[in-house]
Amino acid sequence: MGVRKVFVKSVLNRHRRDRWFLDEYSVNPYYGCPFNCVYCYTHGGRYGVRGGLAVKVNAPAVLDRELWRRGRRGEYGFIALSSATEPWGLGVEDRYGVTRRCLRVILRHRFPVHCLTKSTLITRDLDILAELRGRARLPADLQGVVRDGILITFSLSTLRDEVAEVFEPRAPPPRERLNTLARVREEGFTAGISYIPVLPFITDSEVEEMARVAKDLGADYVFFAPLTLEGREVYLRVLESRYPELVARYEELYRGRTPLKQYVARFYREVLKHLERYGLRFGITEVDLGV
């Protein structure tokens, strides 16, 4: 895998708090993503990633300065690691270790972190995360709402290996991600599953099993959302070759980037029914799905 090395001026992005994932910052140690999932929103025109994969070699040093400034002003908030790349990409992070070095910097400045991953490599960094867990400073309004300053969310769009091989062929298979979730739960971390995106007519039939699996593994929370078609061209190309019978149904369902409202409402009603049955919570804090 060809990886360019780049130097950046800034690596800490600030945004309004995400009401689902609770992050107010994001850090992406890489440009592009080694997993290159078919449905990834970064394939879309608005976010289109050009130039392949690159490692931000000076990210830890830049982050150190940026967090020092934020910390001095008391602007603590969850950092999403990451929002547009896999921070524990196999074959990349195990070679460059930029995410691990960023985590050391975050520990030094005591910021809370929300780890968003499809990778088993996160277990390498549980030592740093365990230390940060007791030290991170939460924003005042999240104290007592979350247990501590570490959230670990595993992302899955299917439980079936044969489907994952089509849509996320470079990521560890679903079973390995779920085993990793079980391990981090055993080690006492707050952890959950993000079933995002669920793929209409392909993995939306798995919703009940997804809820059951989350329950069996002791997930603290779950998220579900149907696919947003940012990278329409890339996705439909794969659909045409692997699921040609679904192309017309997708064209009907996706007049724009999001599925038709009726589908979305039905989808969430189904999700909530199964979550209730298994006694699971949608989201880390209460989320109004409007259905």
Tokens of 192: 């959950």
Beta bridge partners of 56: 6
Contact call for residues 53 and 33 (beta carbons, < 8 A): yes
Nearer to ligand SF4, 169 or 218 (CB): 169
Q: How far is CA 37 from CA 170, 225, 232, in A?
A: 8, 16, 13
DSSP string for residues in 215-230: HHTT-S-EEEEEPP-T
**Least spacing, CB of residue 281 vs ligand SF4, in Å:** 23
**Least spacing, CB of residue 263 vs ligand SF4, in Å:** 21
**Least spacing, CB of residue 51 vs ligand SF4, in Å:** 15
Nearer to ligand SF4, 117 or 190 (CB): 117
- Write out the E strands in the chain: 3-6, 12-14, 23-27, 30-31, 53-56, 78-81, 113-117, 150-155, 190-198, 222-226
**CA 39 to mean position of chain CA atoms:** 13
What residues make contact with ligand SF4 under the rule CB under 6 A?
33, 35-37, 40, 42, 84-86, 118, 168
Nearest to 231 by CA among 49, 53, 41: 41
**Least spacing, CB of residue 86 vs ligand SF4, in Å:** 4
Distance CA 252, CA 125 (A): 44
Nearer to ligand SF4, 76 or 192 (CB): 192
Nearer to ligand SF4, 91 or 188 (CB): 91
**Least spacing, CB of residue 225 vs ligand SF4, in Å:** 13
**Least spacing, CB of residue 197 vs ligand SF4, in Å:** 9
Nearer to ligand SF4, 84 or 236 (CB): 84
Nearer to ligand SF4, 40 or 152 (CB): 40
